[in-house]
Structure 1
Amino acid sequence: MKYVDLDATIGAVSGVMSPLVYLERLPEFAGDLPEGARAFATDPGHYDFHGKWCVKDLKLARVLLEPGTEYRERGHLELMFRHNCFKHEEDLIIRYAGVLSLHWDGPANPFVIGDIGVVALDEVLPHDEGCSHEIACHNATISVITADLTATWIDAECDQKPSQPAV
């Protein structure tokens, strides 16, 4: 990641995740992002760790890759993330149109989606071809270069309810 720090030091606390530099720089390049990517990156809840639309703690559940129909066409990609019942009420679907590249980096097995762990944070940046989207998970990183992306939060049924504190 260029600006999001997955091992930051804030005050006397080290080893924390921080999107602060990214959020400070975002206004400088947000206008260079394609429309869908800009809407996703600048959503006020995107990096609100306590908010229900923060990507932190989501878990990748589905990957659909559709190649282009002609050799000059770029494919489409869909990533579906399941909610964390203790934090989210919705699942997130990210659809990438005009995918130039998809890269999976890390020790996790790319054929076993559950191996990548939960999302730590992500970063959307302008790219000559549209935008880049890097998603850091606990055991792998997914990087996509695409013409644009659309992020949609959809209602989800919670498998378990948050535990109530003992009285």
Structure 2
Amino acid sequence: MGRRYTNADEMLISAAQKISVREHAGVFDKNGDPYYWHPLAVATLARNAGEDAEVVALCFLHDVVEDTDRTLDDIRLELEPIAAETGHNLDGIIDGLDAITHRKNEPRVKYWGRVRDHRYSRAAKQYDIIHNTWPERLARLEPEDKARKESKYGDAQDFLGYARTV
């Protein structure tokens, strides 16, 4: 049986999910699917693996700062009351979100090193890569996009020490 999350855990996870849904509303991925399905799948993988509530929350948030105009401070301010009430590690979530956010023109190796060095981001990135390399998702891409993703995520898995899924 998987991990049992407390009411406090569910409050944190739900707050992160609401942010993700709101910030990705109306956005679609390259396959034409609602973008929000991606963070939902990533968070579901983390939840099913029994990760801490902070990791599940980070999985919902992992693309928000990178893909929207929201900042780390915006996320902190929104989650602060819930973290204060529930006792969750908000600094860890925000630091993990900072670590997992790829900066414009940043070399991949620098990015992967930052991800690797933070416990929450390292876990969240693993589930992100697993979902991004699902054969069903890759099969729906144009051959060029599929090859690019397989190469990018295969290199990331090698660098981060994950088992290869591509």
Q: Do they superpose with TM above 0.5?
A: no
Q: TM-score, normalised by structure 2?
A: 0.29
Q: TM-score, normalised by structure 1?
A: 0.29
Q: Give the number of the structure whose residues are more often helix, by fraction.
A: 2
